[in-house]
Amino acid sequence: MKSCKTRTNIFAICIVLLTCAPWIVYSVPEKFLLVNMTFVPNAKAQGAVCLDGSLPAYHLHRGFGSGARNWLLQFEGGGWCNDVESCLERARSRRGSTKYMNRWAVFSGILSNNASLNPDFYNWNRVKIRYCDGASFAGDSKFDNGTVSLYFRGQRIWRAIILDLLPKGLNRADKALLSGCSAGGLAAFLHCDNFTQLLPSNTSVKCLSDAGFFLDAEGISLNRTMRSFFDKLVVLQGAEQNLDANCTSSHYYPNQCFFPQYTLAYIKTPFFILNSAYDVFQFHHILVPPSADLRGHWNRCKLNPASCNQNQISILQGFRGEMLAALRFFLKYSRTGGTFINSCFAHCQSESQDTWFAAESPRMHNKTIAEAVGDWYFERKVTKEIDCPYPCDTSCHNLIP
C-alpha cells in the first residue's frame, strides 16, 4: 500500500483512512457527512466506462427546504495519465477504476450539509463525480493491443452521469453550480458551457474552478513540461474533438485549448476562479519539476516557503505575475466572473472545511473563500479578490504535500 501524506487535522486523517484503507469502516466525526456511492447502471451501453472498463459513479446527497431545487456538482480531482504505461497503472488503482474506490465519500467544505459550515450551499442537492478516466473527463478513444484494453471515455462518463441525474431532479433545477478541484477544476473549465446547454434554459447556471487554472508556463529549465504532458494526453485520449471549438479553430495550437488560460475567453457561462498564486502542484511540477532540479536545490524551499532564498522567492513572484497576466483579460472585462487568488502555498481549498469556511480560514478583506463564492454566485457583491504577494497574508494555511 502506498503511503499517503496530508495535513495533520481531523478531516485529513479521515481522508487518509478512507483513501489508504478503504476496506475498514471508520468512525468519522459527526460534523463530517459520509455519502454512499451510486453507480450509473446503463453506462456500459453508452460506452461510458472507467479506464479498466468498470462502471462510473457519483455520490449524491439530497437537498432540502429552500435548496431542494438547486444543484451543486463537484468534479473529483486526481491528476492525469498521458501514455499507455501510466494509464495502465492508473487503471489498477482508485484513480482509474471504481473497483478500488471507497464506497463512501466525505462531504465537507462546499459539499457540507451544515449551515454553519457551508452557509450558501448546505441544503442544495450536492454531487461528487468520481474521477476514473485520467483526462479531466475530456477523452473519447480506446487503446487495445490484443492483450491490454484501456478505455479513454471521460467525455462519455460526464454525459452518462448528467443523463442519470436529470430525471432525479436536475432537469428541474432552479440554480446550478458546476465545480471541481485540481484535475476536476480543469474539468469545470472544459465542461462549463456544455453543462449549461444540458440544463433547462431557465436554470441559473454558473461554474467554479478550484486549483484548476494550470498555466502553460516555462519552468526554471525554460521547458514547458506541462504543455508537452497535456499534448500527449490530448492525442492519446482523443480529447481534441471535445475541446472548445471556438478555441481550437483560433490561432492557438488546438491542443493548447486544454489549458484554461486559452479556453477561458470563450466560456459564456459565469465563472469563478479560486486558485493560489503559488499553487503547490504547479510550483512542484510546472515551475520546478523534479527533472529540472536533480541536485535538490529547491527541496527545502518546496517543503517550507520560509526556507526559500531570495532568488527562489523572486522566481516564485515571477510565476505569480505570469498567472495574473494570464487572468488580466478576465479580471478587466468579465462582468459575470469572480476570483479569489490568494497567496497561500496550497492546492484545492473548497472541499476542506479548514480553508472553505472556518474561524481560521484564509481571508481577503476579512472574507472567507465560502463568503467570496457565495457573494459572487448570488450577486450580493462584485468579487474579484487578488491577494498581495507572499509573505503578506497571515491567514494562509500553507498546505505542503
Q: Which residue in 136, 179, 182, 276 is the catalytic one?
A: 182
Helix (H) or strand (E) holding 186: helix 183-198
The answer to whether residue 347 is catalytic is yes
Contact call for residues 207 and 179 (beta carbons, < 8 A): yes
The residues pairing with 341 across neighbouring beta strands, listed in sequence order, are 275, 386
Is residue 59 within 8 A of residue 107, CB to CB? The reply is yes
Helical pair 183-198 and 154-165, crossing angle rounded to 10 deg: 50
160 close to 179: Cβ distance less than 8 angstroms = no
The rounded distance, in Å, linking the Cα atoms of 87 and 91 is 6
Which residues have CB under 8 Å from 31's CB, separation 6+? 112, 114, 117, 353
Residue that is written with C-alpha cell 447502471 in the block? 41
Per-residue CA distances from 296 to 18, 226, 310, 338 (Å): 32, 20, 17, 37
Task: Please identify which of the residues 97, 347, 352, 397 carries the catalytic annotation.
Answer: 347
From the candidates 279, 350, 354, 397, give the one annotated as an active-site residue: 279
112 is a catalytic site residue: no
Told to judge if 182 belongs to the known catalytic residues of this protein, a careful annotator would answer yes
Report, as residue numbers or ranges, the catalytic residues: 182, 279, 347
